[in-house]
Amino acid sequence: MSVATQDTAIRTGRVTRTFIYVFLLVFALFYLLPFLVMVLNSLKPLEEITSGNMIALPQDWTIAPWLSAWSTAQIGVEPTGLRPYFWNSIKMVVPAVAISTVLGALNGYVLTKWRFRFDTILFGLMLFACFIPFQIVLIPMARILGELGIAGTTTGLILVHVVYGLGFSTLYFRNYYAAFPTELVRAAQIDGAGFFQIFWRILLPSSGPIIVVCVIWQFTNIWNDFLFGASFASGGAAPMTVALNNLVNSSTGVAEYNVHFAGAIMAAGPTLLVYIVAGRYFVRGLMAGSVKG
Amino acid sequence: MAAADTRADFRTRMQNWLPKIVLAPSVTLMLIFVYGFIFYTIYLSFTGSRMLPSYDWVGLRNYENLFRLSHWEIAITNLGIFASLYIIICTLIGLSLAIFLDQKIRGEGFLRPIYLYPMALSFIVTGTAWKWLLDPGIGIEATMQTWGFTEFTFNWIKDRDMAIYTIVIAAVWQTSGFVMAMFLAGLRGIDNEILKAAQMDGASNWSLYRRIIIPQLRPAFLSAFVILSHLAIKSYDLVIAMTDGGPGRATELPATFMYSYTFTRNQMGIGASSAVIMLMTIAAIMIPYLYAELREKK
Amino acid sequence: MGFLDINGVTKAYGAVEVLHHVDISVDEGEFLVLVGPSGCGKSTLLNMIAGLEGITSGDISIKDTVMNGVHPSKRNIAMVFQSYALYPNMTVGQNITFGLEMHGTPKEERERKMREVSQLLQIENLLDRKPGQLSGGQRQRVAMGRALVRDPDVFLFDEPLSNLDAKLRVDMRTEIKKLHQKLGTTIVYVTHDQIEAMTLSTRIAVMNKGYVQQLGTPKEIYDNPANVFVATFMGSPAMNVLPTKLEDRNGALHAVLSGAEGQEVILRIDDAPAAYGAYKGREVLLGIRPEAITDPEGADRNARNIQSLTNIVGVTEPAGADTFVTMHVSKRDCIARMRADADVHPGRPFEFAVNMDKAVLFDPETENRIG
């Protein structure tokens, strides 16, 4: 380790290092175990789970629970499986992420490069909106969606997620563009570029990292939302999380744990996939963002 | 820009208006859907609304009733237990993992994603996993018993006095990795020369961390506290998925209370007043924090 | 009316006025340098000329057209920024022609102008690179290319050399001067570096705290600074400003100071302007540049009035070409500039030669130059 420790001021003895490794590995196990249990037990017949050993490998490997969770399991009253709800979530999350990201980018651009009176107050209001408990808006939201005729629809959910996702997307882009040299914007102004040309030709080509962060954040939050889904789209338009909860917590019949686990992995799938593919950029951006505020 | 210029040409005037036009839709949405709605809910909390909003003013009666309900008392007691344990344990685990991971560990790149991935999951998924993992019939208890530890019991999730702690376990599992990332970023930001200077002064590792490094992580502690407390107050999905507020009312939180009073018990006025209390609690934490952050940036 | 006219221009942010009634008229082909410490308002003034900041009152005109409220791109100006402000996602070629593209210049003409400019600046081989792949000096050239290609009426430079290392800065300085002599364009140049101001400009505006302290040619500014601020800001090491009593002895005016050991030091003033008369017998400030205090052998042969000053040598700092000596005069540090091989030793007395032709006096209250 002598080479590796050269540039750090902290040196640790062998006993300490052993302890550190054990500690880190125990926690790695703690984080991995629940997911491992879900995967193993989603590939077992139900009797193997009820007879006792959750941590054992399946004796009789089967994908039947997966098929059942996807297309035949009882969700509420219909034996449709999770499939239609998975598509509901996709139809909700793609437009909601796209719209909130675009608006967030424009807001961030205006708030940093075209400053005007009260811009800090406006941003403060947007920032606080990120952190409100959504219970405070549930009642009026239900009424408005009803009056707009989009209660219980995916369109309604898209509106809700765009509105309450704006604060965070604006926050990300504002912090990113705040560090973007204002001289570039001035140079472009002198060169004769207008408001949208500056955004499109100068800022946007350099926004890759923050777009990744914002898209992942919005995707994860909107996909994982349960409260709005359960409140405003509990029927046929319900998103995946609501359907999964219905599957797991329905009181009728025998609890099919293996099907529940398969369903849970399906619900986790898209966000995990995004995390595995682009998580590195996300963590980098998020760490910078959260520590700097 | 150029507010005092009266002779501005058309293009310049247009360029001055465009930013405001672009910002307008977002600001409008925010003012209506966030602040308008907040005021509407605050107004409802002073009315006798039951199943539907009504506008008969009842003054503070909903709040008086709310604080007389044992159901609400349970919810806020639970929140107190849950939030304090959740924040303390997450911070301790997050800080320890970050400090240990910062010792030039082999395989840091392999361990870090393992600590972080739960953050990507929905609370419903986390709840499902832990609900069955902690279930005495099939989970850890059953597994230990098949392994021969027949006396082993771990049935907190079914125990009225202990169920709230199972929510803490699952919530810590989900977020402590994220807290680790925040502390790690803070640690990586500390100037190495300061550490070298402290070592020249003869500081041991222990005093180096206690006296020099951890005090410099103040911003990370603050961010962690704000984010965790805000998550705790909003917690809803995890409880619904794991225990649905049970056994009995043992794991009710303000968020589940608000939902059930508003939408299933038809006590909208009381539901609204509980939402207002939640908002005020979060505001008490967030507003000073955001104010300080925005001032610093100016 | 000049080519670029700044008439009674003020700038205020809310109630705070940061630029007070500035009047500058620049002729065609002039090289005007705005110089001053940070926060003096020089960059604000430049941005107002560019149209990047609004004008609170007064007006700015270029070629007799009032530019207040005119969009920056319509003023026919070009600007070189401190950070160069090259668009990171575009190649050098695209950077140079972006402004022409925005103004709707046809592609062939853009190409032609780009070739001309890149030839002039010797950056033809860089046209396909991205700014990130260039060195500091190359970026500087590209930034100038982007300005030149527009063929503007006025060039604005905002501290363009401050991001370069010392040697490159000197080279680029020469190059900018050559370019100005060759193209004869009108330039307004902002810097905090007084050497840049002296070497580049045809005229200098020294600014401080939102006021133009003095506007004049480099020589006027250097030899006859309007006040103590200009005197000490321009020149390195700074002009010595020493408390002095002005006395009439034997019918001639003398500056009376005290040496390092409290001894009286008397310097005769010849050809005193009439204004000195009012200060007779009063405390004033004597301003004398370090190069006017030398060893006797190094004194200016053309000087008419060399006075001698014997004092204890404090610190000596050999700087290669010269040796700087610090001593105490009138309880202040006073710097003298000697030949490199002058025979000075710390702690020993030495007889300095003071060229009083170059001395100026300041009023101790107003700090303005007398006469």
CATH code, C4-227: 3.40.50.300
Report if residue B36 sits inside a domain: no
CA A241/CA B127 separation, integer angstroms = 11
Average pLDDT for chain A = 84
Q: Domain ranges for chain C, please list them.
A: 4-227, 240-362
Shortest Cα distance from A53 to chain B (angstroms)? 5
Asked whether B70 and A160 are in contact (CB, 8 A), the reply is: no
- Quick one: which of C77, C85, C200 has its CA closest to C140? C85
Q: Quick one: pLDDT at residue B295?
A: 76
CA C121/CA C134 separation, integer angstroms = 14
**Pairing between β-strand C315-318 and β-strand C57-62 as defined by DSSP bridges:** unpaired
Q: Which long-range contacts (CB under 8 A, 24 or more apart) does B84-87 make?
A: B85/B165, B85/B168, B86/B168, B86/B171, B86/B172, B86/B175, B86/B228, B86/B231, B86/B232, B87/B225, B87/B228, B87/B229, B87/B232
SS (H, E, C) chain B: CCCCCCCCCHHHHHHHHHHHHHHHHHHHHHHHHHHHHHHHHHHHCCECCCCCCCCCECCCHHHHHHHHCHHHHHHHHHHHHHHHHHHHHHHHHHHHHHHHHCCCCCCHHHHHHHHHHHHHCCHHHHHHHHHHHCCCCCCHHHHHHHCCCCCCCCCHHHCCCCHHHHHHHHHHHHHHHHHHHHHHHHHHCCCHHHHHHHHHCCCCHHHHHHHHHHHHCHHHHHHHHHHHHHHHHHCCHHHHHHCCCCCCCCCCCHHHHHHHHHHHCCCHHHHHHHHHHHHHHHHHHHHHHHHHHHHHHC
CA C163 to chain centre: 18
* Coil/strand/helix, residue C216: strand
- Name the residue with tokens 């004869």: C184
Residue of C nearest to B5 (CA): C69
Task: Write out chain A residues lying below 8 Å of B297, CB-based.
Answer: 178, 293
CA C52/CA C54 separation, integer angstroms = 7
Task: Write out chain B residues lying below 8 Å of C66, CB-based.
Answer: 7
- Count how many residues are written for chain A: 293
pLDDT above 70 coverage of chain A, percent? 91
Cβ of residue B123 closer than 8 Å to a chain A Cβ? yes
Task: Write out chain B residues lying below 8 Å of C52, CB-based.
Answer: 1
Tally of CA atoms within 13 A in the half-sphere of C322 that contains its CB: 14
Residue of B nearest to C66 (CA): B7
Which chains contact C through at least 3 pairs of Cβ atoms less than 8 Å apart? A, B
Contact yes or no for C102 and A181 at CB 8 A: no
Q: Domain C240-362 adopts which CATH fold? A: OB fold (Dihydrolipoamide Acetyltransferase, E2P) (2.40.50)
Encode pLDDT of A42-89 as tens digits.
888 888 777 767 777 888 888 888 888 888 877 777 788 888 899 999
Angle formed at CA C181 by CA C175 and CA C184, multiple of 5 degrees: 125
Mean pLDDT of B164-188: 90
Task: Write out chain B residues lying below 8 Å of A276, CB-based.
Answer: 113
Q: Quick one: pLDDT at residue A8?
A: 53
Cβ of residue A271 closer than 8 Å to a chain C Cβ? no
- Quick one: which of C22, C49, C59 has its CA closest to B7? C59
Q: How confident is the model at residue A288 (pLDDT cuts 50, 70, 90)?
A: low
Contact yes or no for A110 and B22 at CB 8 A: yes
Contact yes or no for B4 and C70 at CB 8 A: no
Task: Write out chain B residues lying below 8 Å of C74, CB-based.
Answer: 9, 11
Sheet with C57-62, strands from edge to edge, namely C16-26, C4-13, C57-62, C65-66
SS (H, E, C) A133-147: CCHHHHHHHHHHHHH
Query: C368 or B140: whose pLDDT is higher?
Result: C368
Residue of A nearest to B170 (CA): A34
Task: Write out chain A residues lying below 8 Å of B182, CB-based.
Answer: 287, 290-291
Mean pLDDT of C120-127: 90
CA B18/CA B106 separation, integer angstroms = 53
Neighbours of B291 (CB within 10 A): 12
pLDDT of residue C174 exceeding 80, the answer is yes
Q: How confident is the model at residue C60 (pLDDT cuts 50, 70, 90)?
A: very high
Instruction: Tell me the DSSP string of A121-177.
Output: HHHHHHHHHHHS-THHHHHHHHHHHHHHT-TTSHHHHHHHHHHHHHHHHHHHHHHHH
CA A49 to chain centre: 31
Asked whether A116 and B290 are in contact (CB, 8 A), the reply is: no
Q: Quick one: pLDDT at residue A286?
A: 59
The structure's pTM equals 0.84
Q: Quick one: pLDDT at residue A285?
A: 64
Cβ of residue A209 closer than 8 Å to a chain C Cβ? no
Q: Quick one: pLDDT at residue C203?
A: 95
Beta bridge partners, C25, equal C5
Tally of domains in chain B: 1
Q: Quick one: pLDDT at residue B3?
A: 41
Cβ of residue A205 closer than 8 Å to a chain C Cβ? yes
Residue of B nearest to A127 (CA): B290
Contact yes or no for A139 and B44 at CB 8 A: yes
CA A112/CA A12 separation, integer angstroms = 45
Dihedrals φ, ψ of C28, to 5°? -60, 135
Please report, as a single letter, which amino acid is at residue C115: R
* Element holding C333 (H helix, E strand): strand C332-339
CA C65/CA A260 separation, integer angstroms = 77
Q: How confident is the model at residue B6 (pLDDT cuts 50, 70, 90)?
A: very low
CA C282/CA C262 separation, integer angstroms = 19
Cβ of residue A63 closer than 8 Å to a chain C Cβ? no
Which chains contact A through at least 3 pairs of Cβ atoms less than 8 Å apart? B, C
Can you identify the CATH homologous superfamily of domain A83-292? Answer: MetI-like (1.10.3720.10)
Q: What CATH number is given to the structural domain containing B270?
A: 1.10.3720.10
Asked whether B93 and B183 are in contact (CB, 8 A), the reply is: no
Report if residue B59 sits inside a domain: no
Q: Domain ranges for chain A, please list them.
A: 14-64, 83-292
Contact yes or no for B18 and A49 at CB 8 A: no
CA B132/CA A37 separation, integer angstroms = 10
pLDDT of residue B85 exceeding 60, the answer is yes
Task: Write out chain A residues lying below 8 Å of C73, CB-based.
Answer: 189-193
Instruction: Cis check for the bond before C237: say yes or no (omega within 30 of 0).
Output: yes
Query: A97 or B5: whose pLDDT is higher?
Result: A97
Contact yes or no for A163 and B117 at CB 8 A: no
Q: How confident is the model at residue A252 (pLDDT cuts 50, 70, 90)?
A: low
Asked whether A259 and A244 are in contact (CB, 8 A), the reply is: no
CA C33/CA C53 separation, integer angstroms = 19
Q: Tell which A residues from 169 to 188 touch C, by Cβ distance under 8 Å.
A: 181, 183-184, 186-188
Cβ of residue B88 closer than 8 Å to a chain C Cβ? no
- Quick one: which of A200, A171, A125, A185 has its CA closest to A285? A171
Q: Which long-range contacts (CB under 8 A, 24 or more apart) does C277-281 make?
A: C279/C246, C279/C361, C279/C363, C279/C370, C280/C246, C280/C247, C280/C248, C280/C253, C281/C245, C281/C246, C281/C247, C281/C248
CA B81 to chain centre: 14
Shortest Cα distance from C47 to chain A (angstroms)? 9
Task: Write out chain C residues lying below 8 Å of B9, CB-based.
Answer: 69-71, 74
Interface of C with B (CB under 8 A): 52-57, 66, 68-71, 74
Contact yes or no for A190 and C99 at CB 8 A: yes
CA C100/CA C111 separation, integer angstroms = 10
CA C243/CA B286 separation, integer angstroms = 59
Q: Tell which B residues from 1 to 60 touch C, by Cβ distance under 8 Å.
A: 1-9, 11-12, 15
Shortest Cα distance from B256 to chain A (angstroms)? 9
- Quick one: which of A264, A236, A222, A227 has its CA closest to A75? A236
Report if residue B14 sits inside a domain: no
Encode pLDDT of B28-47 as tens digits.
999 999 999 999 999 988 88
Contact yes or no for B146 and A53 at CB 8 A: yes
